Amino acid sequence: MIAPNTAHAAFEKAAQYFGIRLIHVPVDVVTGKASAQDMIRLITPNTIALVASAPCFSLGVMDDVESIAALAAEHGIGCHVDCCLGSFLLPQLAKLGRTAVSPFDFSVPGVTSISCDSHKYGFTPKGGSIIMYRGTALRQYQYFVSTEWSGGIYATPTLLGSRPGALIAATWATMITLGQDGYRQAAGQIALMVDRLCDIIEHTEDLFIFGKPASSVVAFGSSTLNVYAINDEMSHRGWHLNALQNPAAVHIACTMLTTESTIEKFMEDIAESVAAVRAQPMLSLGAGTAAIYGTNAVLPDKSIIEDVAKGYIDLLYKL
């Protein structure tokens, strides 16, 4: 499986569970995208699928779904589009005429499967997600059937055996209640806040935005200052932004809670934080610095991280 290195860690997790070798393609630091050209030379007769994100979690930019899917079609392999973050926003943003939204769905030849998260911008409870296939033949690989089991014929469509009906009912009720109009209104409001944020970051000396934010996530970096130190300064001012790595960056994900007053506060605090770091040029971290997913925490030494992370999970189970 070949994926841009900005593809979600869930692909690495799936690769580990299913014994698939995952090959990462580095993304361009300016556009934040991996090119299909870089994928071509990695395809072998063993390659089963190419991955594209719409958009990726870390930098919030769309991969070039059309060219990656075309390449997959040419080689007769799968092309999975990870639309977990974009699913409930992109179609509405496209209808609202946003130009950062390039084609990403089954209208693109070569796309064979798409994942969507209803619990993100679908505003439904966590615990349910959506996977869609271009055809039923592909979907059947997901099914498990045991015809000889002592408990009777056992057939299940998903990795989970017993599943909560209440969750599906709540998801359905939320979607029906909000409807297309509700989702379009939410997407429009979020897009306005994204525009405001981009404007502020673009006008902040020493900061740059990675690529073209496609939906709700805006990632920024700095070629002159330590972006993690800027994040620390933001934390001192009450912000909880996501620290990213490879490349070093910080992102902010706009939601319905990102309002005009949040943006005003961001504008003041980011200016102060950048100025504070500029005043202490010694604040630089070593090349081994690692950011922890879903947090603003940064570790100074990568070599111990796996053990620390496993120890942390163990501790949660002990509690």
Binding site residues, ligand PLP, CB under 6 A: 8, 10, 53, 56-57, 82, 84-85, 117, 129
CB of 245 to ligand PLP, least distance (A): 16
CB of 34 to ligand PLP, least distance (A): 14
Q: At what angle do helices 260-278 and 227-236 cross, to 10 degrees?
A: 120
Query: Closest CB to ligand PLP among 56 and 277?
Result: 56
CB of 301 to ligand PLP, least distance (A): 26
Q: At what angle do helices 260-278 and 165-202 cross, to 10 degrees?
A: 50
DSSP 125: P
DSSP 247: T
CB of 57 to ligand PLP, least distance (A): 4
Cα 42–Cα 47–Cα 48 angle in degrees, nearest 5 = 140
Query: Closest CB to ligand PLP among 2 and 277?
Result: 2
**Cβ-contact 3, 24 below 8 angstroms:** yes
CB of 109 to ligand PLP, least distance (A): 23
CB of 262 to ligand PLP, least distance (A): 21
DSSP 68-95: HHHHHHHHT-EEEEE-TTTTTTHHHHHH
Query: Closest CB to ligand PLP among 91 and 274?
Result: 91
Query: Closest CB to ligand PLP among 61 and 197?
Result: 61
Query: Closest CB to ligand PLP among 55 and 221?
Result: 55
Q: Which residue has the tokens 């934080």?
A: 273
**CA–CA separation, 126 and 119 (whole Å):** 5
Cα 63–Cα 64–Cα 70 angle in degrees, nearest 5 = 130
Query: Closest CB to ligand PLP among 284 and 295?
Result: 295
Query: Closest CB to ligand PLP among 121 and 220?
Result: 121
**CA–CA separation, 121 and 297 (whole Å):** 25
**CA–CA separation, 272 and 28 (whole Å):** 30
CB of 86 to ligand PLP, least distance (A): 8
Give the residue ranges of DSSP H helices in the chain: 9-18, 36-40, 65-75, 90-95, 136-139, 165-202, 227-236, 260-278, 305-318
CB of 120 to ligand PLP, least distance (A): 7
Query: Closest CB to ligand PLP among 85 and 194?
Result: 85
Query: Closest CB to ligand PLP among 66 and 82?
Result: 82
**CA–CA separation, 115 and 199 (whole Å):** 31
CB of 56 to ligand PLP, least distance (A): 6
Instruction: Give the sheet arrangement for strand 217-221, strand by strand.
Output: 208-209, 217-221, 249-253, 242-244
**CA–CA separation, 318 and 314 (whole Å):** 6
